[in-house]
A and B are shown apart, each in its own frame.
Chain A
Amino acid sequence: MDTAWEKAKFKRPKRKIIDSLFRLAAFSSAVLVVVILTLILMTILIRSLPALKLSMIIRTPGTGYYLGHEGGILNAIVGSLELISGATLIAFIIALPGVIYLNTYLKKNSPFSEAVRFSLDVLWGIPSIVYGVFGFLLMLAWHLRASLLAGMVTVALVELPILSRAMDETIRMVPSEIKEAAYSLGASRWQTAIRVILRQAFPGIITAVLIALGRGLGDAASVLFTAGYTDRLTTSLFQPVATLPLAIFFQLNSPYPEVQQRAYASAAILTFLILLISLVIRFFSRKLSRHKIK
């Protein structure tokens, strides 16, 4: 079979070149992704530095703020926090019992649980602008104005599939021996059983909540017509509320350079908050998983 050998000698350089080129392409793509990430963070950081003042985060917009006068975006920071805590709470209250039902009462692959998981996937795929539209229709039906409440409900809908799916994954991961041991405690001690399972899945649930929080914090399209906007702090569920993404969006549309600068600063603040959340997620998923039984 010397022909194969001859061919091998002939082909080797070409194969090696393709191999190296492929490796190079893969490596350069990875480098490109890293460069892009750095570029985004650097752009935001460098542009925002001149406008990053303490007053940005401790003051609400003063008179003439949008003409470049004094003030800050405390309204949007507080508003965003109010909005996402409420929204995540609502989403959590709906998601948790549902996920528990899905994983305890129903058989592993019953058509019913398949249908629910399928609908969660459907919901996950819906763009947040469509949630915004739906939220607005709900507002019309309930005769609500654009308000903190309406915004919360809409964002809760955006977060629901993310939260449910993520919690579902972790609760499903709980080893079935633990589940069975827990159920054998008896139906009357259902809560004890749930507590055992939840403790096992706790880090995963925290992570799921944080992911949902981050998603809600960054989402602008769903609150565009439901939350309204205000320069004051929101103290009631029925008042409109300012949010960070929209604060950035609106300030950016201003013709005044000072105001645009503040948009960059607001972006830095938002990025920082998102960074914080993703760090906490890492911390939790590492720290807490140690208490899990492997």
Chain B
Amino acid sequence: MKKEKVRRLISASAMLFPLLLTVAILTSLVLKALPIISLKSLPTLIFSSAWQPQKGHFGLWPFILGTLWVTITAFILAAPVAIFTSIYLAEYAPGKLKKILAPGLDLLAGLPSVIYGLWGILLIVPFISKYLAPLFSSYGSGYSILAAGIVLAVMILPTIINISVEVLNSVPTELKEAALALGATKFEVIYYVAMKKARPGLIAACALGLSRAFGETIAVMMVVGNVPEVPHTLFSPAYPLPALLANNYGEMLSIPGYDSILNFAALLLLLIVLIFSLMSRLYLNRLKRRS
């Protein structure tokens, strides 16, 4: 019986680990970020675009904007393609084709971000600088928000597609048949019935993709240019928060406040991502439980 107690204790504490880890990550970041928050005011840190650590200017606005631009570009590119693809897979594709496409999507989902980044450097960046940007009379290296947006869009495609397909498949066949029996075309069934029924799930899928896009680091930083300025067009370079961390965190220069501001940046990133991912996870879990 004693053995049983020990076993219980160990497995209970193992179970508690995720809870403790969550708390630990949040508190350590908050503690490390506090010095700079108390030194400067929160609005200055977030909304000032002056980033000159040597002079003590720690405005994160360019980085926040960079994150937003890149993520939103990626989302606008990815969401329609992903939703349409999942509609094709769930409603139109013959069974054999589904069997072929599923491993392909899994592979796409499993490819490491460096590979995506490399692909971006080899294909997307030159394409933008040589062909696309000149069309809009913009001449640059191609390392830009658009490049990062495209790479990121491709990366979040499988996330959105996989969840959306699952959500669409959960719409009962009998319901679709009922609509067909009223003389609806396939489009009308999908649009007015299946997508309407699946709408919360589809939104959650997109939000999850969005949250992945916010936090993606390596692939984005390989193609985005990393210039700490407020971006103006899709062809400008940018410097998103994750890239800021990746490029500077380990070094910890002996500038006062520098490590604290980086920790604050990490905290900020964490909070943004968590808002999206938690909302969608909670939502999806609730949907799953209901079905």
Interface residues of A (CB under 8 A from B): 15-16, 18-19, 22-23, 25-30, 32-34, 36-37, 39-40, 43-44, 47, 94-102, 105, 115-130, 132-134, 136-137, 146, 157, 160-161, 164, 187-188, 190, 214-215, 217-221, 224-225, 245, 248-249, 252, 263-264, 267, 270-271, 274-275, 277-278, 281-282
Would you mind naming 19 contact pairs between A and B with Cβ atoms under 8 Å apart?
A23-B186, A26-B84, A26-B92, A98-B18, A101-B15, A119-B21, A127-B216, A127-B269, A127-B273, A129-B246, A133-B245, A133-B263, A218-B111, A218-B115, A220-B218, A221-B217, A224-B249, A224-B250, A248-B114
Q: Is B112 in contact with chain A by the CB < 8 A criterion?
A: yes
Task: Annotate B260-279 by CB proximity to A: 1 below 8 A, 0 otherwise.
Answer: 00110010011001101110
Q: Judging by beta carbons under 8 Å apart, are B110 and A278 in contact?
A: yes
Across-interface contacts of A128 in B (CB, < 8 A): 215, 217
- Per the bound structure, the CA–CA distance linking A215 and B245 in Å amounts to 21
Across-interface contacts of B107 in A (CB, < 8 A): 37, 274-275, 278
- Per the bound structure, the CA–CA distance linking A94 and B18 in Å amounts to 9
Q: How far is the CB of A243 from chain B (nearest CB, A)?
A: 10
Q: Judging by beta carbons under 8 Å apart, are B274 and A126 in contact?
A: yes
Given A101-B15, A127-B214; A15-B188 close (CB under 8 Å): yes
Task: Annotate B157-199 by CB proximity to A: 1 below 8 A, 0 otherwise.
Answer: 1000100000000000000000000000111101100000000
Across-interface contacts of A96 in B (CB, < 8 A): 14
Across-interface contacts of A15 in B (CB, < 8 A): 185, 187-188
Given A128-B215, A160-B21; A27-B88 close (CB under 8 Å): yes
Of A29, A137, A245, which is in contact with the most chain B CB atoms at under 10 Å from its CB?
Answer: A29
Q: Is B11 in contact with chain A by the CB < 8 A criterion?
A: yes
Given A105-B8, A218-B113; A26-B218 close (CB under 8 Å): no
- Per the bound structure, the CA–CA distance linking A23 and B115 in Å amounts to 32
Across-interface contacts of A132 in B (CB, < 8 A): 245-246, 249
Q: Which residue of A lies closest to B267 (CB)?
A: A130
Q: Which residue of A lies closest to B214 (CB)?
A: A127
Q: Judging by beta carbons under 8 Å apart, are B112 and A245 in contact?
A: yes
Main SS of chain B's interface residues?
A: helix
Interface size band for B: 35 or more
Which candidate, B22-30, B36-44, B231-239, is the interface stretch facing chain A? B22-30
Across-interface contacts of B106 in A (CB, < 8 A): 278, 281-282
Q: Is B74 in contact with chain A by the CB < 8 A criterion?
A: no
Q: Judging by beta carbons under 8 Å apart, are B118 and A248 in contact?
A: yes
Q: Judging by beta carbons under 8 Å apart, are A26 and B101 in contact?
A: no
- Per the bound structure, the CA–CA distance linking A22 and B80 in Å amounts to 12
Interface residues of B (CB under 8 A from A): 4, 7-8, 10-12, 14-19, 21-22, 24-25, 28-29, 32, 80-82, 84-85, 87-89, 91-93, 101, 103-108, 110-119, 121-123, 154, 157, 161, 185-188, 190-191, 211, 214-218, 222, 242, 245-246, 249-250, 262-263, 266, 269-270, 273-274, 276-278, 281-282, 285
- Per the bound structure, the CA–CA distance linking A102 and B85 in Å amounts to 36
Q: How far is the CB of A283 from chain B (nearest CB, A)?
A: 11
Across-interface contacts of A221 in B (CB, < 8 A): 113, 217-218, 242, 246
Across-interface contacts of A98 in B (CB, < 8 A): 11, 14-18
Given A127-B217, A214-B110; A43-B122 close (CB under 8 Å): yes
Across-interface contacts of A277 in B (CB, < 8 A): 110
- Per the bound structure, the CA–CA distance linking A176 and B10 in Å amounts to 24
Interface residue from A39, A116, A274 paired with B18 (Cβ < 8 Å): A116
